[in-house]
Structure 1
Amino acid sequence: MTQEIVFHEGAIEVDARLIAQGLGLGVASLQALKRASKVTSLCERGVGNDLGLHRLTFFYGNRRFRLVVGQAGNVISRSSIDFGDRSLLAPMHKPGT
């Protein structure tokens, strides 16, 4: 079994199966949507009491999938939200807005 989350040379690699499952998609659909920039992501590095943690958030349409990950790539928590008919505002998909 491969590790789902790997830190490598300053980058974070997340297994597509994990993201697809969290967003309620198939892996092939996820890959096509990612190439079309329809699936976006945000990575936040913890500070203070959260030092060493990363929050990885993936967006698709009205869905959000979030992971909190430790330094070793271990998933500490995960959550999926489908906002139904309410779409997410574009600024929620981008850092610093």
Structure 2
Amino acid sequence: MNDSITQVEITNGDIVVDAVLLGELLNIQPAEVPALMKAGAITSICEKGVGEDAGEYRLSFFYRNRRLQLSVNESGHILRRSVIDFGERPLPRSLHTVRA
């Protein structure tokens, strides 16, 4: 990952994630990301950290058989990222639930 390119921007509470990053991690073409989000095929959850996680956000994206999670700080720097891919099996409904 190239740190000189901002992949997550946070401005006045609005969070924008680069379609290139989402495409790469969700295994789709970046140009497809906006339409898939608009159609509800890619869904997401944003959680704001509290306590020892204050100042961080966890961004979860779901698409077909994949779940992507990005942990970012208030300036948009990616601290951690993970992808779960279930191959030919659909993403279990339980993974659409965010746990503490």
User: Quick check: TM above 0.5?
Assistant: yes
CA distance, structure 2, for counterparts of residue 77 and residue 52 of structure 1: 14
**What per-residue deviation string (whole Å, max 9, x for no partner) do you get for residues 9-42 of structure 1?**
2111111111111101101222221121100001
Q: 1:70 maps to what in 2? A: 73
2:16 equivalent to 1:10 = no
CA distance, structure 2, for counterparts of residue 40 and residue 94 of structure 1: 12
Q: 1:19 maps to what in 2? A: 22
* Runs (5+) with no aligned partner, structure 1: none
- 82, 87, 93: which one aligns with 1:84: 87
Q: 1:49 maps to what in 2? A: 52
2:64 equivalent to 1:61 = yes
Counterpart residue type for residue 57 of structure 2: H
TM-score between the two structures when normalised by the length of structure 1: 0.85
CA distance, structure 2, for counterparts of residue 56 and residue 36 of structure 1: 19
Q: 2:42 maps to what in 1? A: 39
RMSD: 2.0
% same residue? 42
* Runs (5+) with no aligned partner, structure 2: none
TM-score between the two structures when normalised by the length of structure 2: 0.83
